[in-house]
Amino acid sequence: MSRQIIVGNWKMNGTRQDTQVLVEALVNGLPASAPDVVICPPFTQLALVQPALASSPICLGAQDCHKDVSGAHTGDISAPMLSELGVSYVILGHSERRQEHGELDETVREKAVAATKAGLTPIICIGETEDQRESGEHEDVLGWQIKGSLPDGFAGIVAYEPIWAIGTGLAATTDQIAQTMAFLRAELVRQFGEAGKAIKILYGGSVNAGNAVSVLSIPEVAGALVGGASLKADAFLSIVSAASAA
User: Known catalytic residues?
Assistant: 94, 161
Is 9 flagged in the annotation as binding? yes
Q: Tell whether residue 149 is among the known ligand binding residues.
A: no
Name residues whose C-beta falls within 8 Å of residue 175's C-beta, 6 or more positions apart in sequence.
none
Residue 164 counted as an annotated binding residue: no
Cα Rg of the chain (Å, integer):
17
Interacting residues of 165 by C-beta distance below 8 A, sequence separation 6+:
171, 172, 205, 206
Determine whether 208 is exposed, middle or buried from the number of CB atoms within 10 Å of its CB (0-12, 13-18, 19+). buried
Q: Is 128 exposed, middle or buried (0-12, 13-18, 19+ CB in 10 A)?
A: buried
Q: Is 217 annotated in some ligand binding site?
A: no
Reported residue count of the chain is: 246
Q: Give CA–CA dist 235/219, Å, rounded.
A: 23
Query: Which region holds residue 24: left if phi is over 0, alpha if psi is between -120 and 50, else beta?
Result: alpha
User: Is 11 assigned a ligand-binding role in the annotation?
Assistant: yes
> CA 231, CA 29: separation in Å to the nearest integer?
14
What does the alpha-carbon distance between residue 194 and residue 192 come to, in Å, rounded to a whole number? 7
Q: Residues marked as binding?
A: 9-11, 167, 206, 227-228
Q: Residues marked as binding for substrate?
A: 9-11, 167, 206, 227-228
